[in-house]
Structures are given as structure tokens and as C-alpha cells.
Amino acid sequence: MRSRRSVLAVPGSNPRFLEKAQTLPVDEVFLDLEDSVAPLAKEEARGNIVAALREGDWSGKTRVVRVNDLTTQWTYRDVIEIVEGAGAYLDCLMLPKVQDPTEVVWLDTLLTQIEKTMGYEVGRIGIEAQIENARGLVNADAIAGSSERLETLVFGPADFMASINMRTLVVGEQPPGYVEGDAYHYILMRLLMAARMHDLQVIDGPYLQIKDVEGFRRVAQRAAALGFDGKWVLHPSQVDAANEVFSPSQEDYDHAELILEAYEYYTTVEKRGAVMLGDEMIDEASRKMALVVAAKGRAAGLGRTKRFTP
């Protein structure tokens, strides 16, 4: 799986932002043709994005383009022009406001046709499905299993909050009057279960109060604690917080690697299935949990500071 701790949104209509995004230490950049681009600027934005993908330096970043949703007149031209113009430089397309699995199937089919026409490897370009309303959440299981290309489910909080009439104007914060628990817990867990059922990643949406970095960190920690893989960032000030929150600590990473080393040694050399690592008993379940933390640490570029000695 790709590392997606920080997912930067960049308007395709702003060449300066497209250039700046290449310099930021984010895991993924999605170049946007949807909400951040005015209707009259969408055609020009396609050209900007193709040029940025072909000519820019996106080293170390997953390159994604968010097309318009299928209720609009722009979507099919978005896909055709972006993939024909820069498909070799593209990792995924993000489809917003997905409500039904047939929408992902439509995008999969169109991508296959373009790949065959252009001579690209069929199936290489992935799909990210953004869930932004009640119907999409109810259909999350079917959406998550709708295509072999699907890599992530993405929560779109602003449109979702509007779709269920949530009584707040602050995206990501608790609605006034909701004094116990977390109003977003069910939504996040529902997406998490659908994603994991099909071995997908799951990404939390944006926090719009871009000057409130501590607020961003607090909301990101909620998603990370549940098991989310990353979160959108809208401003450079949010990048470091996202990368930190969605990376394991050095202590946890070292511990995970020690568990993997110790379990490998004891099960293969001494042929035991449950053993002690210091004061901790480890077994097959421990190995599975350690694999998750170790994978996230490796993706984040962490290095080992401890080694296992039998």
C-alpha cells in the first residue's frame, strides 16, 4: 500500500499552487478539478494539470487527480483529457460524491478503454472513492468491493454534514448541543469497516480552520486512533502535524520490529508458537498487529534503533 499520511488538495486552476505543492513533504497530492475550481475555469484547469504532471517533479509523492462527480457534464472529459494527456505520470483518479458502486464501475471501464487505446498497462491507474452523503455511506460496503482498481475510501465531511442536516458550520468539529461522545464516530467506523473488509486504505477529510493547527491535530488524532491511514491537508501548516499523527512513534516502531524478529526466531528456530519478549507474551495475533505498525513506520521512513537478541 502507498503511504497516505498527508494528502494535499491543490486547485488545478492555480499554477502557483501546483508548483508550490511539488516542494512540500506530503505523501500524496491530488490536483483538483472539482469543488476548488470554478465552472468557467475547469477546461483550463485540465490543461494546467496535464502540464504539471508531465513537467513537474513529484518525486516521492502519489499523484492523484480529482475529477468532477458523475452528476455533472464535466466528468467524462476530465477523465479522457487527463489520462490521455498524462496517464503515464498519474497514479490514481479520485471520484467524488460516490453514491453507488456502478459509478466506480463506470470509471473503471472508461479507464480500461483509454489504457488500451493509449497502450498503457491496463489496471495500473488506481481509483479513490470519496463518500460524501448518506446514500454513499449506506452503500459503503458495495462501493468498497466494486473494482480491483480501488485503493482508498475518502471521507468528505462538508458535503456529508450538509446531506444529513448536521447543525454546524464548522467542518470536523462537534455540532453545538452534542455534548456526549463523538458525532462522527459512527461515520468514521462505518467507512473503516468497509475499507478494511476489502483491504483498502481509508482517509479522513479536511479540517477547514487552517490556522488552527492544534484543532487539526486533535481531529487527526481521533481518526488515527481508530485506524485511519491519513488525512487531507489544505495548507502547508497542517503537513507536519498530519505526517506526525499518522506515523507510529519511534518507540512503537522499534517494539513492532522486535516482535516480528522475535516471533520469527522462536517459531522457526525453537519451533514455539507463544513466547515471552521481555515481560510480554507474543503470539500470532501479536505478529499481525506488529505488521501493521511496522509497515506504517517503514512507509514513514523511520529507522531501527533496537535489535532483537535471542
How far is the C-alpha of 260 from the C-alpha of 275, rounded, in Å?
12
132 has binding-site annotation: yes
Helix (H, G, I), strand (E, B) or coil at 119: coil
108 has binding-site annotation: no
66 has binding-site annotation: yes
Q: Exposure pattern of 13-24 as b/e (b: 16+ CB <10 Å)?
A: bbeebbeebeeb
Question: CA dihedral defined by 101, 103, 106, 112, rounded to 10 degrees?
Answer: -80
Helix (H, G, I), strand (E, B) or coil at 146: coil
Task: Give the CB-side neighbour count of residue 196, counting CA atoms within 13 A.
Answer: 11
In terms of phi and psi (left: phi > 0; alpha: psi -120 to 50; beta: otherwise), the region of 122 is beta
How far is the C-alpha of 88 from the C-alpha of 276, rounded, in Å?
49
Which H or E run includes 63? strand 62-66
CB 308 within 8 A of CB 262: yes
Residue with cell 460516490: 98
Closest CA to 5 of 253, 213, 203: 203
Contacts of 146 (CB under 8 A, 6+ apart): 101, 102, 104, 105, 108, 129
- Residues that constitute the known binding site for substrate: 66, 132
- Residues that constitute the known binding site for Mg(2+): 132, 159
- Residues that constitute the known binding site: 66, 132, 159
